């Protein structure tokens, strides 16, 4: 059938089972929005393009599907950049469709022209500029395939304005034909055999879980491996939820703000089994002294992750959906009682975790931030989708929320994007309407995309926004307190903003809590309200995220928290 | 250590941006880059000379390049028996007094004179990088006005093409 380019885009979205797009119209995408209108395709209008891309990202993180957003040329496209970079760092599948000026105007510094392919090359898995309408079906097919398969990531499709209007004979391809990309990431079995030998020789093995386990939905398989071997577990920020926090030998997060037991276990283990991790600098501390006694093993889909940051002794390159079942299968053939072999080590790390747990001042006369997370964790039966912004509140959430499932924690890990949380929470709630979605934000972060409160209200998207209000940029002021002689340069907000009124002005229910005795009651009330709520929680200005490994330090050189000495 | 890589890429718009963007983003040290059409009309061959500290860094370069969707194949031609060539054109000052000396140098290097006028000559030479460096060094005595070099390209010996290695 003959249709125009805009209709071809919509048809392709349908072919890819896209059920919603997040976006913002403008000159170069008018024809596309016209087709959207005619087809009544579900679309969420955010208040800013950055909101649209983060919402698509939040949607993708909780579903595992490809998130889709649309923006116009020039400023529309450039407003997506932070969101694309955020998704790229955390390997989130997105297809971002941007309008481009008409083909005769490209390269002339035309009105609202920006070179999207040039700008997004370093922050995408792939990108396209479409100048011929006949290319559209193939490009869309490839874009979704590339975004979704292998190590997922964002793909930008920049489409010239006249392409939307031009007609084509539409046929959506069944297959992709890319010479340089197969999408199949099955590895070599002997790499697994070598790793299993190391595991059988080990006395003190440690499994280090990362975001790859979440992205590949292999948490269940991994849990089987853990149940069979009893190997203790540590997690990166992105890996939280893959192994339930309730598992006795789950020592929690490792790294700069990792638990005492997770960091010490890393320094003492004799085999560190990294699964879907990329050894980020926030995890390793000083790279040369990371896990110094261990044979380091890395399971990853991306060959370029091997030896990028940490030099590893053994690698298994391939999709975890291939390697994890293989490991499980091969473990069943091992006759040695591995559980018994690791017993002493396992008991040792569990005891260490019990003796030096995460802690905070529970006798304070004000509300403590950690307490807020604990109360929400309890009130939601640890079963909410938890979204964060970036800063102290993000680390406290990672430390104190009891994550039980994969894809229940949505946070900007790699890029650390303030302003990510609110729009991502909207995307997450839209994807999983049956779930309670709680956003922990700060009084710094929330202001970076607070306009999306209006989106929550306009569409009635029932998210619970908890503003951890300490009147400072908490993480910045913590570093200034610890490393910059308490010179609080530009980190004291001393804002006059009334967050309750801000919420109410945008049509969101606003609540405030200042006393610890009222905390639980107000949070309960917030969770019970049918509709979006913002809770302004007043917290002390000075409170550090601890433990902390100072930047470039060794993992066992931690500054410990209250009652941890 | 320097290595020459043959990077076979899909001949699509934007491919050079992707390759150049990756090199800059990952802060790889590239000595030269030369791209051209191949025996297959939809495949471009990019010859990259990369300078790295060790094999692990080289592996990073190869693995990162391999991740680009447009990259079909990468062959490290330093590791296998191969021929490397680079083309240079050198414009050098040449007056009647120095002209015959320069011609001597050109003959010794088996280079070619491709342009002569009253004040200058343009000399063309194809060869390995070291030979080109040596010619440039000798000609420096006669005042070089400008140099244009292509960067190295390489081809394996024997019947098997890079795409099948």
The predicted complex's ipTM stands at 0.91
pLDDT digits (tens, 9 = 90+) for A15-35: 999 999 999 999 999 999 999
Nearest to B70 by CA among A183, A121, A181: A181
> How confident is the model over A529-556, as a mean pLDDT?
95
Give the residue-averaged pLDDT of B114-119.
95
Average pLDDT rounded to a whole number, residues A373-396: 96
CA distance A311 to A292: 11
* Mean local confidence (pLDDT), B135-146: 96
Pairing of strands A233-235, A205-209: parallel
Q: Output the average pLDDT for chain B.
A: 94
Interface check B21 vs A, CB under 8 A: yes
The CATH topology of domain A2-169 is Rossmann fold (3.40.50)
Q: How far is A25 from chain B (nearest CA, A)?
A: 26
Please, which residues bridge with residue A533 across strands? Answer: A464, A509
pLDDT digits (tens, 9 = 90+) for A77-119: 999 999 999 999 999 999 999 999 999 999 999 999 999 999 9
For A302-361, the pLDDT digits (tens) are: 999 999 999 999 999 999 999 999 999 999 999 899 999 999 999 999 999 999 999 999
Residue A565 reports pLDDT greater than 60? no
Most B CBs within 10 A among A304, A310, A313, A317, hence the mutation to make, goes to A304
Residue written as token pair 């599948």: A93
| Residue extent(s) of CATH 3.40.50.970 domains in chain A | 2-169, 369-538
Alpha-helical segments (H) within A126-256: 136-148, 161-165, 189-201, 211-215, 219-229
Considering A11, A49, A191, A374, which one is annotated as catalytic? Answer: A49
Say if CB A467 and CB A443 are below 8 A apart.
yes
Query: In this complex, is the C-beta atom of B13 within 8 Å of any C-beta atom belonging to chain A?
Result: yes
Comparing CA positions, the residue from B80, B62, B87, B84 lying closest to residue B162 is B80
Q: Is residue A564's pLDDT more than 80?
A: no
What would the pLDDT profile of A474-502 be if each residue is shown by its tens digit?
A: 999 999 999 999 999 999 998 899 999 99
Mean pLDDT value of segment A525-535: 98
What tokens were used for A373? 């997370």
Neighbours of A437 (CB within 10 A): 28
From the options 3.30.70.1150, 3.40.50.620, 3.50.50.60, 3.40.50.300, give the CATH code of B83-153: 3.30.70.1150
B interface test, pick of A181, A182, A298, A313 with most B CB neighbours within 10 Å: A181
Q: What is the pLDDT of residue A527?
A: 98
Give contacts of B24 with chain A, Cβ < 8 Å. Answer: 122
DSSP H or E run through A382: none
Block residue for tokens 């116009």:
A72
Fold of B2-76: Alpha-Beta Plaits (3.30.70)
The DSSP-derived string for B110-141 is: T-EEEEE-SSEEEEEEEE-HHHHHHHHHHHGG
Q: Two tokens at A112?
A: 């609202």
Which tens digits make up the pLDDT trace of A368-379?
Answer: 999 999 999 999
Question: Domain ranges in chain B?
Answer: 2-76, 83-153
Average pLDDT, rounded, for chain A: 97
Query: Can you give the pTM of this predicted structure?
Result: 0.96
Token readout for A477 is 């002021």
Contact between residue B83 and residue B46 where contact means Cβ atoms under 8 Å apart:
no
In the prediction, which pLDDT does A488 show? 97
Q: Mind listing the pLDDT tens digit for each residue in A251-265?
A: 999 999 999 999 999
CA–CA separation, A466 and A530 (whole Å)? 16
| Gap between the Cα atoms of B32 and B50, Å rounded | 7
Q: What's the pLDDT band for A561 if we cut at 50, 70, 90?
A: confident
Is B72–A179 a contact, with Cβ atoms under 8 angstroms apart?
yes
pLDDT exceeds 90 at position B99: yes
Residue A425's pLDDT band (boundaries 50, 70, 90)?
A: very high
CA B23 to chain centroid: 17
- The CA distance from A440 to A388, in Å, is 5
pLDDT at A563 over 70: no
Going by C-beta distance under 8 Å and a sequence separation of 6 or more, which residues neighbour residue A432? A62, A63, A385
Residue A552: what pLDDT?
86
Peptide bond into A547 cis (omega under 30): yes
- Predicted confidence (pLDDT) per residue in A150-208, tens digit: 999 999 999 999 999 999 999 999 999 999 999 889 999 999 999 999 999 999 999 99
> Could you give the CA distance from residue B7 to residue B45 in angstroms, rounded to a whole number?
6
Task: Name residues 34-63 of chain B within 8 A of A (Cβ).
Answer: 43, 56, 59-60, 63
* pLDDT for position A264: 98
Which of these, B152, B13, B1, B7, lies nearest to B65 by C-alpha position? B7
Q: Does the pLDDT value for residue A73 go beyond 60?
A: yes
Cβ–Cβ contacts within 10 Å for residue A92, how many? Answer: 29
Compute the half-sphere exposure of residue A226: CA atoms within 13 Å on the CB side of its CA: 23
Tell me which of 3.40.50.300, 1.10.460.10, 3.40.50.970, 3.40.50.2300 is the CATH number of domain A369-538: 3.40.50.970
Q: How confident is the model at residue A551 (pLDDT cuts 50, 70, 90)?
A: confident
Task: Write the pLDDT tens digit of every residue in A222-277.
Answer: 999 999 999 999 999 999 999 999 999 999 999 999 999 999 999 999 999 999 99
Confidence at residue B81, expressed as pLDDT on a 0 to 100 scale:
94
Both structure tokens of A32: 């596309």
Tell me how far CA of residue A113 lies from CA of A70, A101, B12, B15, B41, in angstroms: 16, 6, 22, 21, 32
What's the distance, Cα to Cα, between the start and end of chain B in Å? 23
Residue A203 designated active-site? no
Tell me which of A7, A100, A112, A371 is the catalytic residue: A112
Given a contact cutoff of 8 angstroms between Cβ atoms, the answer to whether A108 and A115 are in contact is no
Q: Which residues of A touch B46 (CB under 8 A)?
A: none
Separation of alpha carbons A408 and A364, rounded Å: 30
Q: What are the distances in angstroms from CA A160 to CA A13, A43, A156?
A: 18, 21, 13
Instruction: Judge whether residue A140 has pLDDT over 60.
Output: yes
Which CATH code is given to the segment(s) A189-355?
Answer: 3.40.50.1220
Q: What does the pLDDT look like over B25-63, one tens digit per residue?
A: 899 999 999 999 999 999 999 999 999 999 999 999 999
pLDDT per position as a tens digit, A441-477? 999 999 999 999 999 999 999 999 999 999 999 999 9
């Amino acid at each position: 059938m003959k249709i125009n380019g805009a209709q071809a885009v919509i048809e392709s979205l349908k072919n890819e089972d896209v059920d919603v797009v997040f976006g913002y119209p403008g000159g170069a995408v008018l024809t596309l929005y016209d087709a959207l209108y005619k087809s009544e395709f579900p679309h969420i209008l955010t208040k800013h393009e950055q909101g649209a891309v983060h919402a698509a990202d939040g949607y993708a993180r909780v579903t595992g599907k490809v998130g889709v957003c649309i923006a116009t040329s020039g400023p529309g496209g450039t407003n997506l950049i932070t969101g694309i970079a955020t998704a790229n760092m955390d390997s989130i599948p997105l297809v971002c469709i941007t309008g481009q000026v008409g083909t005769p105007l490209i390269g002339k510094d035309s009105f609202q022209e920006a070179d999207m392919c040039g700008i997004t090359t370093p922050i995408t898995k792939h990108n396209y500029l479409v100048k011929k309408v006949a290319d559209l079906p193939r490009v869309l097919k490839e874009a979704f395939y590339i975004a979704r398969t292998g190590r997922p990531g964002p793909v930008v499709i920049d489409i010239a304005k006249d392409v939307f209007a031009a007609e084509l004979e539409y046929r959506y391809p069944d297959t992709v034909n890319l010479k340089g990309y197969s999408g199949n990431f099955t590895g070599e079995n002997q790499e697994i055999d070598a790793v299993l030998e190391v595991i059988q020789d080990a006395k003190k093995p440690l499994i280090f879980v990362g975001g790859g386990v979440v992205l590949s939905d292999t948490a269940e398989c991994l849990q089987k491996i853990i149940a069979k071997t009893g190997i203790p577990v540590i997690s990166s920020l992105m890996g939280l939820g893959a192994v339930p926090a309730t598992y006795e030998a789950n020592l929690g997060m490792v790294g700069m703000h990792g638990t005492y037991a997770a960091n010490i276990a890393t320094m003492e283990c004799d085999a560190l089994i990294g699964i879907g991790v990329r050894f980020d600098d926030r995890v390793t501390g000083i790279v040369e002294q990371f896990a110094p006694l261990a044979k380091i093993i890395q399971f990853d889909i991306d060959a370029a992750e091997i030896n990028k940051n940490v030099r590893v002794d053994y690698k298994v390159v391939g999709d975890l959906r291939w390697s994890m079942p293989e490991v499980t299968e091969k473990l069943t053939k091992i006759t040695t009682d591995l559980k018994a072999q690791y017993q002493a080590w396992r008991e040792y790390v569990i005891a260490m975790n019990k003796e030096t747990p995460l802690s905070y001042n529970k006798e304070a006369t004000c509300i403590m931030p950690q307490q807020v997370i604990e109360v929400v964790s309890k009130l939601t039966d640890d079963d909410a989708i938890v979204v964060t912004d970036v800063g102290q509140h993000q680390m406290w959430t990672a430390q104190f929320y009891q994550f039980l499932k994969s894809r229940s924690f949505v946070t900007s890990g790699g890029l650390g994007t303030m302003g990510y949380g609110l729009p991502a929470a909207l995307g997450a709630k839209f994807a999983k309407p049956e779930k309670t979605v709680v956003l922990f934000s700060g009084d710094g972060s929330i202001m970076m995309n607070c306009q999306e409160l209006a989106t929550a209200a306009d569409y009635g998207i029932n998210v619970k926004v908890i503003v951890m209000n300490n009147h400072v940029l908490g993480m910045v002021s913590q570093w200034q307190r610890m490393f910059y002689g308490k010179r609080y340069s530009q980190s004291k907000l001393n804002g006059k903003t009334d967050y309750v009124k801000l919420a109410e002005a945008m049509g969101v229910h606003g609540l405030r809590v200042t006393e610890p005795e009222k905390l639980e009651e107000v949070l309960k009330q917030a969770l019970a309200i049918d509709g979006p709520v913002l809770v302004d929680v007043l917290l002390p200005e000075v409170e550090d995220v601890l433990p902390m490994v100072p930047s470039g330090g060794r993992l066992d050189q931690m500054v410990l928290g209250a009652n941890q000495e | 250590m320097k290595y020459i890589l043959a990077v076979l890429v899909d001949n699509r718009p934007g491919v050079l941006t992707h390759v150049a963007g990756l090199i800059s983003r990952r802060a790889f040290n590239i000595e030269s880059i030369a791209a051209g059409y191949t025996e297959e009309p939809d495949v471009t061959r990019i010859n990259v000379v990369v300078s790295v500290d060790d094999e692990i860094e080289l592996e990073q370069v190869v693995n990162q390049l391999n991740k680009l969707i447009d990259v079909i194949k990468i062959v490290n031609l330093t590791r296998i028996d191969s021929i490397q060539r680079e083309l240079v054109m050198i414009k050098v000052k040449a007056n009647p007094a120095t002209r015959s000396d320069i011609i001597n140098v050109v003959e010794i290097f088996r280079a070619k004179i491709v342009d002569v006028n009253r004040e200058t000559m343009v000399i063309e030479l194809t060869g390995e990088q070291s030979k080109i460096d040596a010619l440039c060094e000798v000609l420096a005595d006669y005042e070089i006005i400008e140099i244009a070099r292509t960067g190295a390209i390489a081809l394996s010996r024997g019947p098997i093409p890079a795409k099948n290695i």
